[in-house]
Amino acid sequence: MFYDFSILTSKIHSWLLAHCDSGWTTLLEMVIVGLCVITLFVVLGLIFVYMERKVAAFMQFRLGPNRVGPKGTLQAVADTVKLLMKEGFTPQAADMFLFNLAPFIVLSVSMLALAPLPFAKGLQIYDINIGVFYLSAVSSISVIGILIAGWASNNKYSLLGAMRSGAQIVSYELSAGLSVIAIVAFTGSMSLSDIVESQRTGWWIFKGHIPAVIAFVIFIIAGTAELNRAPFDMAEAESELTGGFHTEYTGMRFAMFFLAEYVNMFVVCAIGATLFLGGWMPLHFGNLEGFNHIMDYVPPFVWFFGKTFFLVWVIMWFRWTFPRLRIDQLLTLEWKYLMPISLVNMIIVAFVVIMKWHF
Within 10 A of 23 (CB to CB), how many other CB atoms are there?
Answer: 8
Find out whether 51 and 316 touch, Cβ atoms under 8 Å.
yes
CA distances from 83 to 87, 256, 304, 337 (A): 8, 10, 31, 41
Which positions ≥6 away from 117 have C-beta within 8 Å? 124, 125, 192, 267, 270, 271, 274
- Identify the CA nearest to 211 among candidates 65, 342, 57, 79: 342
- Report pLDDT digits (tens) over 89-148: 888 888 889 999 999 999 999 889 999 999 998 889 988 999 999 999 998 888 899 899
Q: Distance between CA 219 and CA 177 in Å, rounded?
A: 8
Find the DSSP H helices in 153-288.
Answer: 156-187, 192-197, 204-207, 209-226, 238-241, 251-276
Q: Which amino acid is at 190?
A: M
Q: Distance between CA 150 and CA 248 in Å, rounded?
A: 9
Q: Any idea where the domains of the chain sit in the sequence?
A: 89-355
Which positions ≥6 away from 28 have C-beta within 8 Å? 16, 20
Residues lower than pLDDT 70 in the chain: 1-2, 236-241, 358-359
- Identify the CA nearest to 136 among candidates 177, 191, 188: 177
Find out whether 324 and 234 touch, Cβ atoms under 8 Å.
yes
- Report pLDDT digits (tens) over 261-292: 899 999 999 999 999 999 999 988 877 788 88
pLDDT of res. 201: 84
Q: Distance between CA 321 and CA 330 in Å, rounded?
A: 16
pLDDT of res. 84: 85
Q: What share of the chain is helix, strand, coil (3-state, %, to 5)?
A: 70, 0, 30
Coil/strand/helix, residue 171: helix
Find out whether 312 and 273 touch, Cβ atoms under 8 Å.
no
pLDDT of res. 293: 86
Residue ranges of E strands in the chain: none
pLDDT of res. 241: 67
pTM summary value: 0.93
pLDDT of res. 239: 66
pLDDT of res. 359: 65
Within 10 A of 101 (CB to CB), how many other CB atoms are there?
Answer: 15
Question: Which residues on adjacent β-strands are paired with residue 123?
Answer: 120
